[in-house]
Amino acid sequence: MDRWPAETIWEQVSPLLSGFTVEVLPEIDSTNSELMRRARAGQTAPTLLVAERQTAGRGRLGRPWQGQPGDSLTFSLSLPLRPRDWSGLSLAVGLSVAESLHPAIGLKWPNDLWWQDRKLAGILIEAATSGPHSQVVVGIGINIRPCPATGLSTPPASLCELWPQASAGAALARLTLPLVTALQGFVMTGFAPLQQRYAARDVLLGRELSTSDGQTGQGLGVSVTGALRLRQPAGERLIDSAEVSVRPQCP
Ligand code: BTN
């Protein structure tokens, strides 16, 4: 198992986030679930929680998230955050992680990281809001090395295909400080200034797409608020529901 770069990350991030802590646990149900439990109990200190193994990892849309110890990086970052406009937050997170890890990593709306049309990483963002306070939990799972077949129709991608020396610890060390900086930047400016950088990695741009709620159309990129733009015979349609998933149609 990796030696985790907890101290280095703490030294980098503490000047930006007062009270920041880094925790590495051998096992927990889900790093997102744990940080959401803490947030609801009023524990709002900025925390990076890494789990070597999750027994009940969660993905978007109620799906499970599986990862083998050592072969995947699973962590969540919890911090107080109150952006003026939340739209596009998950895209901003995906963009930051992709840019930190490799120039060739693509982004699949709303917040998956893809490599050669296969999923490399997923992001689950949750928020606990109480009065004026809002705590955001950003959970990220990255495949580092190929895992045994998981029953998925397309086998996932893994970071070591692009970065042969990749390890969970090295990936975490690369991405944490830029992620914190990106989140703080998002509070100030929202998604709009990131639109062009997102477009440069958008794997759905120009492709024929179908959505889980039965729509089809050509991907036209994302709007200034991070909504997916779909060209349909009747005109352009914006999709911004977190409940919708989207796929390129088979070539
Ligand atoms: C998705 O692609 O559906 C999102 C996957 C998010 C998985 C990460 S792993 C760390 C954190 N803890 C969880 O239970 N989920 C997120």
pLDDT in tens, 113-152: 999 999 999 999 999 998 888 999 999 999 999 876 556 6
User: Range with the lowest mean pLDDT among 45-49, 170-174, 196-200, 244-248?
Assistant: 244-248
Write the CA distances from 241 to 110, 153, 192, 212, 215, integer angstroms.
Answer: 9, 25, 18, 11, 13
Classify 173 as helix, strand or coil.
helix
CB burial of residue 138 (10 Å; 0-12, 13-18, 19+): buried
Average pLDDT score over residue span 19-47? 97
The residue ranges of every structural domain in the chain are 6-199, 208-248
| Domain 6-199: assigned CATH number | 3.30.930.10
Q: Is the dihedral of CA 85, 89, 92, 93 positive or negative?
A: positive
For residues 10 and 191, what is the distance between their CA atoms, to the nearest angstrom? 27
Residues 6+ apart with CB under 8 A from 77: 46, 47, 48, 49, 137, 138, 140, 176, 179, 180, 183
For residues 136 and 132, what is the distance between their CA atoms, to the nearest angstrom? 13
Residue 61 Cα: closest atom of ligand 1: 3
Instruction: Calculate how far, in angstroms, residue 46's C-alpha sits from the geometric centre of ligand 1.
Output: 19
Whether 51 contacts 65, CB under 8 Å: no
Residues at CB less than 6 angstroms from ligand 1: 30-32, 54, 57-60, 63, 65, 74-76, 112, 122-124, 139-141
Instruction: Calculate how far, in angstroms, residue 121's C-alpha sits from the geometric centre of ligand 1.
Output: 9
pTM of the model: 0.95
Q: Decide if pLDDT at 1 tops 60.
A: no
- The mean pLDDT of the chain is 94
Instruction: Calculate how far, in angstroms, residue 160's C-alpha sits from the geometric centre of ligand 1.
Output: 19
Residue 57 Cα: closest atom of ligand 1: 14
Whether 34 contacts 43, CB under 8 Å: no
Residues 6+ apart with CB under 8 A from 15: none
Write the CA distances from 69 to 26, 72, 155, 168, 186, integer angstroms.
Answer: 9, 6, 18, 10, 32
Q: Decide if pLDDT at 69 tops 70.
A: yes
Whether 218 contacts 210, CB under 8 Å: no
Of 27, 112, 140, the residue with max ligand 1 atoms within 8 A of its CB, to mutate for a pocket test, comes to 140
Q: Decide if pLDDT at 100 tops 80.
A: yes
Alpha helices in the chain (DSSP H): 6-13, 31-40, 89-101, 168-189, 195-199
Whether 225 contacts 215, CB under 8 Å: no
Residue 119 Cα: closest atom of ligand 1: 2
Whether 2 contacts 28, CB under 8 Å: no
- DSSP-derived pairing of the beta strands 21-25 and 47-51: parallel
For residues 120 and 231, what is the distance between their CA atoms, to the nearest angstrom? 27
Average pLDDT score over residue span 151-173? 91
pLDDT in tens, 192-224: 999 999 999 999 999 999 999 899 999 999 999
**Which tokens sit at 234?**
């009747």
pLDDT on residue 43: 95
| Domain 208-248: assigned CATH number | 2.30.30
pLDDT on residue 155: 85
Percentage of residues in the chain having pLDDT higher than 90? 85
Instruction: Calculate how far, in angstroms, residue 125's C-alpha sits from the geometric centre of ligand 1.
Output: 8
Does 6-199 match 208-248 in CATH topology?
no
